Amino acid sequence: MLSKEELTNLILTDIDAFNAELAGTKEGVDLSETDFSNSNLEGAEFVNVDLTSSSFADSHLTGVKFEACDLTSVDFTRANLVECSFDGSILNGTDFSYSKADYCNFSEADLAGSVFQGADLSNSDLSSAENLSACRFDEETVWPDNEYLPEEFDSQYASDLSSLQDEDDYQQSDY
């Protein structure tokens, strides 16, 4: 198995060689805390990869598979994601702020604590995502049609429990 640095270099220079290298592994691969910011990735297949605390900020990802991956605290801010798959991945605390996710699949993805402030998810499928109600979002967040959201999720409730508010907002007025 190649080193973390060698795998990272393959991802950025030869996706096919990276996918072939990963196809031969049975155990998970550790690429945690790796910086892929400002990269352009197409067709990468991250399967059972630990990408905890990595960054894809300001990146353009097309047809990238993140299947059964640990994406805890990954930074996807301002990323452009097209036809990406997050099947069965853990996205706890993952930041999608101001990103655009076009035709992405979040089947069985755990989104507890994910941040979608200002994100455009209008064409993505979150219908079988888990813990979407435990994410952060705001009135700028663009959600897909209700058929692509979990039944219990209310996309109109922008003042969610996880958003921070000033103590002054809760003080009673004497008038």
| pLDDT band per the 50, 70, 90 thresholds, residue 157 | low
CATH of the domain at 64: 2.160.20.80
> Is residue 173 scored above 80 in pLDDT?
no
Sign of CA dihedral 167, 172, 174, 175: positive
Could you tell me if residue 80 is inside a domain?
yes
- Whole-structure pTM over 0.85, yes or no? yes
Residue 74 lies in a domain: yes
166 within some domain: no
Within a domain: 106: yes
Report the domain count for the chain: 1
CB 156 within 8 A of CB 138: no
Which band of pLDDT confidence, cut at 50, 70 and 90, is reported for residue 127? very high
13-25: per-residue pLDDT in tens?
999 999 999 987 8
Q: Looking at the domain assignment, is residue 160 inside a domain? A: no
The Cα 32–Cα 72 span in angstroms is: 10
* Mean pLDDT on 145-157: 87
Q: Across the chain, where does the E strand assignment appear?
A: 29-30, 40-42, 45-47, 49-50, 60-62, 65-67, 80-82, 100-102
User: Does residue 49 sit in helix, strand or coil?
Assistant: strand
E strands in 17-169? 29-30, 40-42, 45-47, 49-50, 60-62, 65-67, 80-82, 100-102
Question: How confident is the model at residue 1, as a pLDDT?
Answer: 78
Query: Would you say residue 119 lies in a domain?
Result: yes
Q: Is the pLDDT of residue 164 over 60?
A: no
Residue 162 included in any domain: no
Provide, rounded to the nearest whole percent, the portion of the chain with pLDDT above 90: 81
pLDDT band at 104 (very low <50, low <70, confident <90, very high): very high
Residue numbers of the domain that contains 80 = 1-152
Structure tokens at 60: 């353009």
CA–CA gap between residue 84 and residue 126 (Å, rounded): 12
Residue 26: per-residue pLDDT: 79
**Taking residues 83-103, what's their average pLDDT?**
98
